[in-house]
Structure 1
Amino acid sequence: MTRTPKELERVFGKSSKGATEEERAATSEKLFVRSQVQIAEDSESAKGHRLSAQEALRLFGFDLLARVAEEGSAPLVTKPSEPAATLMARRVAFGLTPAQVARKAGISEMQVQRAELTGSLSPIRDLERIAQALALNELTLGYESGARGNEALGVRLREFAELKDTRRFSPSDVMALAEAAWVIRTQSDLSRLLGKRASLPDIGFKPDNNYAFPAYERGYKLAEATRMLLNIGLNEPILSIKSLVEETLSIPVIQQALAPKFAGATMADRSDRGIVVNEAGQNSNVWVRRMTMAHELGHLLWDPDTRLDTLKVDKYDDVEARYFKASTRDPVEIRTNAFAISFLAPPGAVRSIVAGRRDLVDALGEVMTTFGVGATAAKFHVGNVCNVDTSRVSVAYLPKAEDDWIGRENLTVDWFPLKSTPISRRGRFALLVARSFQNRLISADTAAMHLHCTANEFLASVDAIVSAF
């Protein structure tokens, strides 16, 4: 609908420019503020969440903002049961208690219970913390029934929590993966807002249903195909797999604390996909972590949607398994393990290194340091592609990862100006938050909420976050 200049000026202010709602919002200096139940124009006394004009328009539309301009405020909640009904349903779907949600959100159990009580009013900050902990869109909470929560994710998390075997999730695992889902979706949203690609490049990645025996050979071929599609030399080391996944392939990589038995996971929230890497356990070794990321990448690039499901979690035993002698194991994991190690350390290059060395220990060490792979994976891989017995080589004689490998994979999370920002929200996520603020796509309040800091702390650090990249 075409708006008159007078209508646009009334909503976005006299200093705004342009002929459309979007153009006016992009140049507007106005801020709006929302509470649990309404949205209004910003004022010094306002205690709610401040939104940029672009945010407010994107979330609530022009007609609602026109009502704010005309009447001073407008209601957001259209059902008396919201947001209580959405919050309670989501918590129950995850199989969590109010106390468990409260610990993750950093508030009291009583505050969670009050938020779930129909007709009760809560500070918007409390509601936002709870919504993020439950992988809901905190900015549309109360306005949209369900707050854009992925129902399939809730079902999957609860299924894992109810298992009786070693794959069972603890409540802390459920909460950590819920937060990872929130970060993945938000990072993808910010990418789209900034005009950046938020999905895989359209260069030939198509789901592959071939898991026929021997599945590892198919994994080798898919690794070679991936290198060709990405223009990576067939013998070229991948110096930072995290950068390749996030920057080249536009797949968020989230580091998160899970139970030490879990290595990583792939997550799908509608069209948004990401990789979760456990910062605990064997992934503390950067070479093992590279293998974990390559393994999860293999799932995301080549497994059909029916096999990926909404959430797929891998244990360290799966990632480091001896794929070429695992005829009784899942062929999906066999293929993916073979993909991961051969993507990082191409078989042809490995054969050349081993052929050029008389000493097997030296050859294994060169494979590890050249391609950035751990001792266990290197031993299995060399043994398979070169048909040599590596079982007697002691790990004690093999090299450790040096600082250059650690720095390339850890740089954007080890150093960060905001110490309160969790590791799951550092790196590229933080960069997109900062750039979105600079483009007035989000407010300082939203940026601070995303990075777990105050608005003043964010404003003091935004330039440092951007310059770090």
Structure 2
Amino acid sequence: MSQAIGKLVRTRRSEVGFSHEELAELARVPLATLEAFEEGQGNITAAALDRVAYVLGVDAGALRQGRIERSPTAALFFRQGAFADFRDVEDRPKVVEAFERALALRKVNTLLGRPPSLRERFEPEEPTPEVFKDGYRLARKVRSVLGDETGPLGDMAELLEEEFDVLVRSEALSSIGIDALSLKEPQTGVAAAILNTASRRRSNAWTARVDLAHELGHILFDPPRGEIHLVIDREDDENRGVRHAEKRARAFAAELLMPAEGLRQLLGPPRYEMGVSQALDLVARVREVFHTPIEITVNHLVNREYIVHFLQEAVIEQAKRTGRGGAAATPPPRPARQDALTRRVLEALDRDLISAGRARELLLLTAWDDLPAKV
């Protein structure tokens, strides 16, 4: 059977247009091993075959049975201008792995009998020029479904994974100008978000909350573009002709983290504060409760009419320089975080729903890799 599978791999690789070297690199399989396998002179591990199948855009289970069935592949679609900032050779494999893990997460959820995620309650919408109104409205809709329309949200990575089945990864990307990215495949419904730990924004621990809220907005509401819809976010996008969808995601993140009704309970009704000192006090109070960075806090209070717009830059500058804008408490230390796939694979293993070998395959491990311990 392995000879027949090797021949199928060779035929499909030629159809797709990959060289041996390209397929070996993308699938993380030694070149010599791949060449021998295609010639029927050797074997590869089940996990490696899964990766080969994924890169070639075919179903791994069908390939193991000697059949070719098409499946989604991570063909990446970049927002206009973003490709120049993306270091494809170094970072594409990390994006592909995130997507692979999101696909595996969907399979494990089925094994565990998990109910549909909250993501199924939302439909994508084409953005309109009224980006702030759109973003605020959509954030209120999500808050309503979560059952909390006023309070601070907890751990955002946990929220995305447990409530929306969005796999969250933290990766040190070589594309240091990129803060975060998200991807989704509309046919299967899989989705993932990646936080770039090498981004300058990670120097402020609370920016991860903003970036994950932002990516959730893209995942829930951006209409898909192509098989894989991928959005790459950069800190300096404001100067590059940001599209309506990006501005909407920013408004969505601000309102999701600092809901209007929550601000009203904390600060009272908006009153267009015109003094810098008083504005800084408002910023400090909001940051203490909602755990948000200075810029997004000030900008949202301006947009929500708590601070007059011509004070915006001065308040941000003084808050940073003097600390008058409050210091949101440092996030509590947490143990090394396992993503949702790892946690649920280990749960399925504990419940004897899968074998140790299948657990390794789902976690993209080789037969010689140790399974992770529960954290």
TM-score grouping bracket, smaller chain normalisation: 0.7 to 0.9
Q: Secondary structure at the match of 2:90?
A: helix
Question: Which residue does the alignment assign to 2:360?
Answer: 448
Residue 266, structure 1, aligned to residue 191, structure 2? no
Identity value in percent = 19
Q: By how many angstroms is 1:343 displaced?
A: 0.6
Q: Which structure carries more relative contact order (alpha carbon 8 Å, separation 6+)?
A: 2
Residue 212, structure 1, aligned to residue 128, structure 2? yes
Choose the corresponding residue for 1:345, options 253, 258, 274.
258
Residue 188, structure 1, aligned to residue 110, structure 2? no
Choose the corresponding residue for 1:360, options 265, 279, 283.
279
Distance in 1, matches of 2:99 and 2:143, equals: 28
| Contact kept in structure 2, 1:220 and 1:339, CA below 8 Å | yes
- Show CA shifts across 1:380-410 (max 9, x none): 212221242231233242455544x354xxx
Residue 248, structure 1, aligned to residue 163, structure 2? yes
For 1:243, the aligned partner's letter is: E
Choose the corresponding residue for 2:313, options 391, 395, 401.
391
Q: By how many angstroms is 1:121 displaced?
A: 2.3
**Number of corresponding residues:** 355
* 1:75-224 correspondence to structure 2 within 5 Å: 77=4, 81-86=7-12, 92=18, 97=22, 100-101=25-26, 105=28, 107-115=29-37, 117-124=38-45, 127-128=48-49, 130-131=51-52, 134=55, 138=60, 140-143=62-65, 145-146=67-68, 149-151=71-73, 153-154=74-75, 157=76, 160=78, 166-200=84-118, 202=120, 204-209=121-126, 211-224=127-140
Q: Secondary structure at the match of 1:237?
A: coil
Distance in 1, matches of 2:288 and 2:117, equals: 32
Q: By how many angstroms is 1:352 displaced?
A: 5.7
For 1:229, the aligned partner's letter is: V
Give structure 2 stretches of 5+ with no counterpart: none
Residue 227, structure 1, aligned to residue 143, structure 2? yes
- Show CA shifts across 1:274-297 (max 9, x none): 132223214524321111111121
- TM-score normalized by the length of structure 1: 0.65
* 1:275-354 correspondence to structure 2 within 5 Å: 275-280=192-197, 281-282=199-200, 284=202, 285-305=204-224, 307=225, 310-317=228-235, 321=238, 329-350=242-263, 353=266
| Contact kept in structure 2, 1:223 and 1:342, CA below 8 Å | yes
- TM-score normalized by the length of structure 2: 0.79
- Show CA shifts across 1:344-395 (max 9, x none): 1113433565569963333223322321222221222122212422312332
Alpha carbons of 1:147 and 1:401: their partners in 2 closer, same or farther (altered >3 Å)? farther
| Contact kept in structure 1, 2:63 and 2:69, CA below 8 Å | yes
Distance in 2, matches of 1:192 and 1:359, equals: 53
- Show CA shifts across 1:302-335 (max 9, x none): 2333x5862222222377x59xxx9x63111111
Alpha carbons of 1:235 and 1:96: their partners in 2 closer, same or farther (altered >3 Å)? farther
Q: Secondary structure at the match of 1:315?
A: strand
Alpha carbons of 1:378 and 1:192: their partners in 2 closer, same or farther (altered >3 Å)? same
For 2:49, the aligned partner's letter is: E
In the TM superposition, structure 1's runs of 4+ consecutive aligned residues that sit over 4 Å from their partners are 87-91, 135-140, 144-148, 159-165, 351-358, 398-401, 453-456
Distance in 2, matches of 1:299 and 1:428, equals: 20
Distance in 2, matches of 1:110 and 1:400, equals: 55
- Show CA shifts across 1:73-104 (max 9, x none): xxxx4x662233345656839x97356337xx
| Contact kept in structure 1, 2:279 and 2:307, CA below 8 Å | no
For 1:439, the aligned partner's letter is: R
Q: Secondary structure at the match of 1:390?
A: helix
Distance in 1, matches of 2:191 and 2:243, equals: 22
Q: Secondary structure at the match of 2:190?
A: strand
Distance in 1, matches of 2:223 and 2:347, equals: 34
Q: By how many angstroms is 1:108 displaced?
A: 3.3
Give structure 1 stretches of 5+ with no counterpart: 1-34, 38-76, 417-425
Structure number, greater radius of gyration: 1
Choose the corresponding residue for 1:374, options 288, 293, 298.
293
